[in-house]
Structure 1
């Protein structure tokens, strides 16, 4: 994924705008904790595990691979429509050749399949909300939460997810997880991926900063995962550790928020350079040419590879 941080918000406010819960939650320091939670639990889906294991991206260059993934989520949430659509199209091109046979079921997998993309999308949006609630300011108001899940469904339009399958409330998300749970499982390759993400070794360009950073984040992110997942993935720990980490993690998140996330931006070159550039531009708060929001459909028509330029932004 290529990204020019000077063009984060050149055209419009993107899909949600400054007053949206998506902007608030995805740019909070707690989102980093939620992101690690998401990429770990994603491995319980055997088809996604097969795609990750066969591509080997998280092993050959973990810093770049995870930085690009986190950056995509940020762009979908806070960038202008042009940048978000171009990032989505790039991601689908990257995923296109990632196909093969899932060894447990013997069925074919595709990284761009609607089911896989929905799993990635929902685990990401749910995890950052969970981290915000536990380590950030706390739960959203009922009105904000309703809007957050509506925005989650809008962001899902950027990928191959079937609109009718996208949950639009917390209860619907719970129902989705209950529906997919029977097909979730672990395996040697799934455990390898989860443990690598929680405790990334000093190899393949990860370096000392990523080695330390993954371990520090795991103290908080593991506390957000259900016990059954932790046991199944062989990374469970005593509940007293979860209790012990909660207050220090909340204080750290508060501290980063108190200083306008400067700590995250300073640390970004060592952990997630592209995401740091996106956050830095976001914090500058520059207004777009048209201070309005736009729909993904309109943005795709304006800026997509095969769209026309006959659609204008609508007020948000």
Structure 2
């Protein structure tokens, strides 16, 4: 029964510990900056997505999918995975450099998106001050192989430890480069259109309101949190001082978000998952007599 199902991970998992943190909103943006550096992945998005005309809708859909895989029931997570696999299975794109048509659900592309996403979540959480042991770090990557399986990947082909992830990045870096599409996407990510309800009235003649300034701060932090090699590809400096500044900023943001009442910083799926886990914890032990 769903009332007894805590999903793919559950309250004792490293995944729940990491994703407890609202500061992971920065991690999601960090992963998008990273993903843009893969030419084929970027081409696939550009030729199959309406992200420019519906940036916030796409963000909400992505967040909902991730939330479902983390906090939904097993059935909900598996159904979300099936829908995503059906969607990706219909998509094709054409490589602008070779003219070759390729599938969006190519395992190499799916693996790139998966690794950049989970590594961004974990790296951001750690640098924001979440204490994780070496075993927990490896445990997170191993647990996230379940999420990789949902999108159609063979879990055994997905990095399952920190060492595996580092080796994966070393292997794939020669394939990455700053293309025109990557640059345009990065610019869009840094300054997307703000929903009109959050903008200042047009009559005041201002294009920058508090929501825009807040978002620019988050985007700048996400860029600064990138690995040094990725920052250099974006034209920045891979200096230790940049990383230190990013660490201080994301730690401060985590502290600020911790002051927000729990009922406001936890979404409905997360609250429902915790309620199911609490009911299960309070359930009487089966009679073994």
Q: What TM-score does the superposition give when structure 2 sets the normalisation length?
A: 0.82
Counterpart in the other structure of 2:160: 168
Q: Contact conserved, 2:81 with 2:150, CA < 8 A, in 1?
A: yes
- CA distance in structure 2 between the partners assigned to 1:264 and 1:234 by the alignment: 35
- CA distance in structure 2 between the partners assigned to 1:185 and 1:197 by the alignment: 18
- CA distance in structure 2 between the partners assigned to 1:130 and 1:260 by the alignment: 25
Gaps of 5+ in 2: 200-209, 282-289
Counterpart in the other structure of 2:8: 15
Q: Contact conserved, 1:63 with 1:210, CA < 8 A, in 2?
A: no
Q: Contact conserved, 1:11 with 1:289, CA < 8 A, in 2?
A: no
Counterpart in the other structure of 2:19: 26
Gaps of 5+ in 1: 1-8, 266-275, 293-316
- CA distance in structure 2 between the partners assigned to 1:129 and 1:256 by the alignment: 18
* Distance change (3 Å), C-alpha of 1:69 and 1:235: farther
Q: Contact conserved, 2:18 with 2:130, CA < 8 A, in 1?
A: no
Counterpart in the other structure of 2:138: 146
Q: What is the root-mean-square deviation in Å for CA atoms of aligned residues? A: 2.9
Between the two proteins, the alignment pairs up a number of residues equal to 271
* Distance change (3 Å), C-alpha of 1:161 and 1:211: farther
* Distance change (3 Å), C-alpha of 1:223 and 1:159: same
Q: 1:125 aligns with which of 118, 124, 143?
A: 118
Counterpart in the other structure of 2:86: 93
Q: Contact conserved, 1:186 with 1:233, CA < 8 A, in 2?
A: yes
Counterpart in the other structure of 1:66: 59
Q: 1:42 aligns with which of 35, 42, 45?
A: 35
- CA distance in structure 2 between the partners assigned to 1:98 and 1:206 by the alignment: 33
Q: Secondary structure of 2:171's match?
A: helix
The Cα of 1:258 is off from its aligned counterpart by 4.5
Q: Contact conserved, 2:71 with 2:270, CA < 8 A, in 1?
A: no
The Cα of 1:218 is off from its aligned counterpart by 1.4
Counterpart in the other structure of 2:178: 186
The Cα of 1:206 is off from its aligned counterpart by 9.3
The Cα of 1:110 is off from its aligned counterpart by 2.0
* 2:68 is equivalent to residue 79 of structure 1: no
- CA distance in structure 2 between the partners assigned to 1:206 and 1:163 by the alignment: 42
Q: Contact conserved, 1:51 with 1:100, CA < 8 A, in 2?
A: yes
The Cα of 1:236 is off from its aligned counterpart by 5.7
Alpha-carbon deviations, 1:18-53, whole Å to 9, x = none? 011101112312211111100111011111101111
- CA distance in structure 1 between the partners assigned to 2:229 and 2:134 by the alignment: 28
